[in-house]
Amino acid sequence: MKAAKVWRLGMGDLHIMPGSRNRPHIKKPMWIIALVLFVCVFLICAYIYPPESSSACYVFSSRGCKSFTDWLPPIPVREYTDEEIAARVVNRDILNSPPIVSKHPKVAFMFLSPGSLPFEGLWDKFFQGHEGKFSVYVHASQTKPVHVSRYFLNRDIRSDQVVWGKISMVDAERRLLANALQDPDNQQFVLLSESCVPLYNFDYIYNYLMSTNISFVDCFKDPGPHGNGRYSEHMLPEIEVKDFRKGAQWFSMKRQHAILVMADHLYYSKFQAYCQPGLDGKNCIADEHYLPTFFQMVNPGGIANWSLTHVDWSERKWHPKSYRTQDITYELLKNITSIDVSVHVTSDEKREVQRWPCLWNGIQKPCYLFARKFTPETLDKLLHLFSNYSTP
């Protein structure tokens, strides 16, 4: 279209040119201009709509179809920033390093809580007899917890305030990871809340986590307002909206991935600056987007894309269902442990349901090892039922 317009303008210009008495001499350059323009338009069209049938290809090349676009220089990729180049080499080397083999591998259970843990008694029963195969870390952001179980005594780490939705939540997760990484025997790092309970006995959970090389980080693409609607273009050029992901914060991570998170400054700083509730009229929740987006960009094949912690959003309220004493039955717990398909629903008007089988080393397995949210009053009933429901 543009070329045609230029051509017409050119004609007009020629007509009002004062030298019209030399008409026969003007005709020659006009034909040359026409020919050049025709060739240009033809080449542009051929570039935008590359020939698909092989007969058309031979117009351009006798060697076949692919070669036409091969003549043109490749579309340039974005030039990486200094920080990005540095991040990419560090991440690549961490991912390529073989894992450090520990003689006494342990699972780090990292509790993120405002204060005391109402289910310490249940966890005590869960840990009993498995000394040497786990370690406990508690980040209490508001009040110093009172511990009732020996497994939790002196396991509080230095903590700081946590504001819901803000980067301070991610900071608390990183603080827990850093503390737990100090023990070289810790191989898997599970993040839990004060309202979480175990769904299986220790051996089942230990083997589930230790016999796989992926991390369980929840991650899905939500084109709706509670997903991509929270993305900020200030995150460019490093984070594009096509890489923006969402997921529940409750992860279980292998050691290599915990190191990756420790090494990250680049992507973390983007979320620190541009992902917080109320910024630019958006309601970005840092802990729901930072890790899913980070792993999507750095090692998408290394994560399972679902969280090991079950929660019931079926009531479609602002908060998930909280189980009370009357809800706690053997049937409820068995229902949760029988789920072997993970489900994500987008927040746009389509409400698209994404279902993936929970594949553990290629085998479909129960998705959930933990569940929330349980109110403190349910402790006695759970203690009573535990040895019954937790046997796979």
CB atoms within 10 A of CB 199: 23
CB of residue 216 vs ligand NAG: minimum separation in angstroms? 10
Nearest CA to 189 out of 129, 128, 135, 114 is that of 135
Residue 266 in contact with ligand NAG, rule: CB under 6 A: no
Residue 331 in contact with ligand NAG, rule: CB under 6 A: yes
Residue 305 in contact with ligand NAG, rule: CB under 6 A: yes
Give the torsion through C-alpha atoms of 106, 161, 117, 210, to 10 deg.
-20
Binding piece for ligand NAG, criterion CB under 6 A, among 30-38, 172-180, 301-309, 318-326: 301-309
Please provide the DSSP assignment of 4-65 as one string.
HHHHHHHHHHHHT-GGGGGHHHHHHHHHHHHHHHHHHHHHHHHHHS---SHHHHHHH-TT-S
Residue closer to ligand NAG by CB (options 184, 300) is 300
Residue closer to ligand NAG by CB (options 159, 215) is 215
Which of 43, 90, 332, 345: binder of ligand NAG (CB under 6 A)? 332
CB of residue 261 vs ligand NAG: minimum separation in angstroms? 16
CB of residue 138 vs ligand NAG: minimum separation in angstroms? 30
DSSP 346: -
3-class DSSP state for residue 97?
Answer: coil
DSSP 377: G
254: CB partners within 8 A, 6+ apart: 99, 187, 188, 189, 213, 214, 215
**Positive or negative CA dihedral for 180, 186, 190, 193?**
negative
Residue 300 in contact with ligand NAG, rule: CB under 6 A: yes
3-class DSSP state for residue 219?
Answer: coil
Binding piece for ligand NAG, criterion CB under 6 A, among 107-115, 137-145, 203-211, 303-311: 303-311
Which of 178, 302, 312, 373: binder of ligand NAG (CB under 6 A)? 302
Amino acid identity, position 163: V
DSSP E strand boundaries for the chain: 106-113, 134-140, 186-193, 197-198, 215-218, 252-254, 303-305, 309-310, 341-345, 353-357, 359-360, 363-364, 370-371
CB of residue 256 vs ligand NAG: minimum separation in angstroms? 8
Residue 311 in contact with ligand NAG, rule: CB under 6 A: no
CB of residue 109 vs ligand NAG: minimum separation in angstroms? 23
CB of residue 233 vs ligand NAG: minimum separation in angstroms? 22
CB of residue 314 vs ligand NAG: minimum separation in angstroms? 10
Which of 59, 339, 388, 392: binder of ligand NAG (CB under 6 A)? 388
Residue 301 in contact with ligand NAG, rule: CB under 6 A: yes
- Cα gap 279→289, rounded to integer Å: 15
Residue 214 in contact with ligand NAG, rule: CB under 6 A: yes
Residue 330 in contact with ligand NAG, rule: CB under 6 A: yes
Residues that bind ligand NAG (CB under 6 A): 213-214, 296, 300-305, 329-332, 335, 388, 391
